[in-house]
Structure 1
Amino acid sequence: MNASTLPVSDVRALLRNGLAIPAHPLALTAARTLDARRQRALTRYYLDAGAGGLAVGVHTTQFAIREAGLYEEVLRLAIDTARDWLAPKPRPIAMVAGVCGRTAQAVGEARLARGLGYHAGLLSLAAMKGADEDALIAHCEAVAEEIPLIGFYLQPAVGGMDLSAAFWARFAAIDNVVAIKVAPFHRYRTLDVVRGVVAARAESRVTLYTGNDDHIVLDLVTPFTVMRDGEPVTVRFRGGLLGHWSVWTSGAVELLARCQAAATGMQPVDAGLLALDSRVTDCNSAFFDVANDFHGCIAGCHEVLRRQGLLEGIWCLDPDEALSPGQKEAIDRVCAEHADLADDAFVQANLARWLA
């Protein structure tokens, strides 16, 4: 997993395979300090569930880890735990570090992540709000000089900005860009990313990952066809890098495999598979607190992990981040109605080993 010995072409190939990459949460004590034991347990859970990578230091990990001085510690803990846990039976996984801030900060984070052994940086542009397209591209190019880059179309409701197809064409043309996490939670804007990648003639080297937690299944089974030079060009989402996949992860890995089999024609895209889209989205509506404009999206994922015993509590670095009124009841409902999508038995069978 050492990024210093992994060429960009290998990073591309690994991501091109189509991976389930959960966005790693942050385990805290009641005093809102890092709970290293449970943080390691989460990493072990994701790896044993079959995740093809881990995204650490991203929105689900809480951007506030930077102000709390935890960024390097959390990144180091995740990659060291992954190396140790996989040592008996090595397999390739993609280690993705969240990178954010203005250019100096983002470049520094990218350099740090690469030094720790991370393979790619997931670049949030939230701190660049108000910058024009030229400035955004210059920012991306500077960060891409430090680490292979995964673009991040973050939805505006949680700090993102609207980005045009022209922006994504320029972004996809950057040599060290390897993938884009498409997470605007908006079908028109999702199509803008597809159009941009195709316009840049980058569809063979820039892999699309769904971050649209509201349409996971449809993203993974839909062929996206746009025109270029009067001819249709079809691209597909190969995997997912998702906050939603931080919970019920073994089921998510199975779901991705089923969607990939359908996308390649090995299995049909039948009504049962299509029906899963609305069921998964229903679960996400509770976990991500859609009723309250996503205020409790991190706490909601924590609550599911708490119920399984992986987390002790749902504490976030910001005391104001908690479950919204009615969110607990919404989670109760989806856990009861969609219990077959959960992986409670898998967690209970392994929890003591992960916490050891």
Structure 2
Amino acid sequence: MSGADPPRIPESLRRGVVIPAMPLALTSSRRLDERRQRALCRYYAAAGAGGIAAGVHTTQFAIRDPTHGLFRPVLSLVAEELGRADAARGEPMVRIGGVCGPTRQAVQEAEMLRDLGYHAGLLSLAGVGPDEEARLAHCRAVAEVIPLVGFYLQRAVGGPHLSHRFWRGFAEIEAVAAIKIAPFDRYRTVDVVRAVCESGRDDIALYTGNDDNIVLDLVTPYRFRVGGRTVERRIVGGLLGHWAAWTRRAVDLLEACHDAASRGDGVPANLLRLAVATTDANAALFDAANGFAGCIAGIHEVLIRQGLLEGPWLLDPDETLSPGQAEEIERVCRDYPNLTDDEFVASHRDEWLAS
């Protein structure tokens, strides 16, 4: 492997932060809208997010298509904006880039991320193949280049089944920094957390991507018996497409969850109510009623309404809101105004959009 070592991972990743999965800002001709892409980065930084994940599903995997040629330009732009944000913060924002494809492609993407100053690669195993040993070998090859954030992608959108045995082996890879747990399945969530507990690693941060269970993931203590003693771990933050919209409120939510966890005297009723509201809102944003077909378009719809994105254009012109999805988004905005951050965005939007 060539190139410089990746930057040191900020300690905030282990404490737990809000990490929005970066959307892609396009013009009506489906070209990169640099001005609005930068505005999104500035929005997340100003909202208090602790990091950004770019080049992931919400950024649209098609940016890797040579006909678009957007993968490196988008990752470079995000890195540049995060560099500016870091200069005004006491601690750097966590920079995570998506890594996917067969081993050769994944290693090349990891090398690019490392060279651009990213702290870790979010490693998707969709399409890598079913053999667990081969998957682990793939992970180890990428880990030689950049620290890893494991990714348990739900099967409904193409993710593979990853056993407890796989996660146990994955946790033994020294360069693993975190795991995003997003199988939308509590049995599979327990597999991951138990494997990490059994590994003896206390330096692997656990992040939720379970959009149907965000709040409960963040306030649940996971306890397992390991070697005759009780080991407890918590999911400390979220790396979520859902948090790419209404990000200011996501920061408030995570703070409330951390506060409840630190007190250790149970989950207050208001957080349980908020858990239901958040899941209901996510169902609208992510188009759960239609198998998540409009999940990216739903996030864009909120950002368009706030004036951060100009229009609904995705790289695939056939990828749009599902019938009735806009009405569902309108409903949750009306029913849960405490989940939105429209006033915050309106008061700063022109500043973020300035060149």
Q: What is the CA–CA distance in structure 1 between the aligned matches of 2:144 and 2:82, rounded to whole Å? A: 26
Contact map agreement 1:217 1:259 (CA 8 A) in 2: yes
- Report the 3-state secondary structure (helix = DSSP H, G, I; strand = E; otherwise coil) of the residue aligned with 1:152: strand
> 1:261·1:267 contact (CA, 8 Å) conserved in 2?
no
Deviation per CA, 1:28-73, whole angstroms, max 9, x where unpaired? 1111111111000000000000000000000111111001221110
3-state DSSP of counterpart to 2:127: helix
CA distance in 1, matches of 2:302, 2:324: 15
Question: Of residues 323, 326, 333 in structure 1, which corresponds to 2:324?
Answer: 326
Q: Given residue 168 of structure 2, which amino acid in structure 1 is its aligned partner?
A: A
2:273 equivalent in structure 1: 275
For residue 72 of structure 2, what is the aligned residue in structure 1?
A: 72
Partner of 1:183: 182
CA distance change for structure 1 residues 180 and 5 in 2, over 3 Å: closer, same or farther?
Answer: closer
- 5 Å matches for 1:6-45? 6-7=7-8, 11=9, 13-45=11-43
Following superposition, the deviation at residue 323 of structure 1 comes to 0.2
**Against the structure 1 CA distance between its residues 269 and 127, is the aligned structure 2 distance closer, same or farther, given a 3 Å change threshold?**
same
SS in 1 for 2:49: coil
1:126 is paired with a residue whose SS is coil
The residue type paired with residue 120 of structure 2 is A
- Say whether 1:168 aligns with 2:167: yes
Residue pair 1:195, 1:226 contacting (<8 A) in 2 also: yes
Q: Output the CA distance in 2 between the equivalents of 1:198 and 1:86.
A: 33
CA contact (8 A) 1:97 1:122 kept: yes
Q: Which amino acid aligns with 1:320?
A: D
Deviation at 1:89, TM superposition (A): 4.4
Note the 1:1-356 alignment, pairs <5 A.
4=5, 6-7=7-8, 11=9, 13-67=11-65, 68-89=68-89, 91-128=91-128, 130-202=129-201, 204-265=202-263, 269-356=267-354
Answer yes or no: is the 8 Å Cα contact 1:27–1:38 preserved in 2: yes
CA shift for structure 1 position 231: 3.0
CA contact (8 A) 1:12 1:178 kept: no
Cα contact 1:12–1:205 (8 A) shared by 2: no
Following TM superposition, by how much is the alpha carbon of 1:268 offset from its aligned partner in structure 2, in angstroms? 5.6
AA in 2 matched with 1:332 = E
**Distance in 2 separating the partners of 1:177 and 1:5:** 13
Instruction: Report if aligned partners of 1:133, 1:167 keep a CA contact under 8 Å in 2.
Output: yes
1:78 partner SS: helix
Q: TM-score, normalised by structure 1?
A: 0.95
Give the drift of 1:87. Answer: 2.6
Contact 2:14 2:236 in 1 (8 A): yes
- Cα deviation per residue 1:194-252 (whole Å; 9 max; x = unaligned)? 111122222x0111001111111100000011222243221100111111000000000
Letter in 2 for 1:96: I
Give the conservation status (yes or no) of the 8 Å contact 2:10–2:93.
no
Which amino acid counterpart does residue 188 of structure 2 have in structure 1?
A: R
Q: 5+ unaligned residues in a row in structure 2: which ranges?
A: none
188-197 or 285-294: bigger deviation: 188-197
Question: For the residues of structure 2 that align with 1:4 and 1:246, how far apart are their CA atoms?
Answer: 29
1:245-272 deviation per Cα after TM superposition (whole angstroms, max 9, x unaligned): 0000000001001100111117862101
Letter in 2 for 1:209: Y
Q: Which moved more, 1:262-271 or 1:116-125?
A: 262-271
How far has the Cα of 1:90 moved from its partner?
5.0
* One-letter amino acid of the counterpart of residue 133, structure 2: D
CA distance in 2, matches of 1:201, 1:77: 38
* Contact kept in structure 2, 1:308 and 1:344, CA below 8 Å: yes
Residue identity opposite 2:251 in structure 1:
V
Letter in 1 for 2:301: E
For 1:312-340, what per-residue CA distance to the aligned partner results, in whole angstroms no more than 9, with x for missing partners? 11111111111001111111111110111
Deviations 1:100-148 (A, max 9, x none): 01000000000100000000100001121x3300000000000000001
User: Is the 2:100–2:123 Cα contact (8 Å) retained in structure 1?
Assistant: yes
Are the aligned partners of 1:4 and 1:117 in contact in 2 as well (CA < 8 Å)? no
Q: CA deviation at 1:6?
A: 3.4
Opposite residue 252 of structure 1, the aligned amino acid is A
C-alpha separation between the residues in 2 aligned to 1:263 and 1:243?
24
Q: State the superposition RMSD in angstroms.
A: 1.4
Deviations 1:146-202 (A, max 9, x none): 001000001111121111111000001101001000000111110010111122222
- Paired residue secondary structure (1:264): helix
Structure 1 portions without partners, runs of 5+:
none
Over the matched positions of the two proteins, sequence identity in percent amounts to: 58
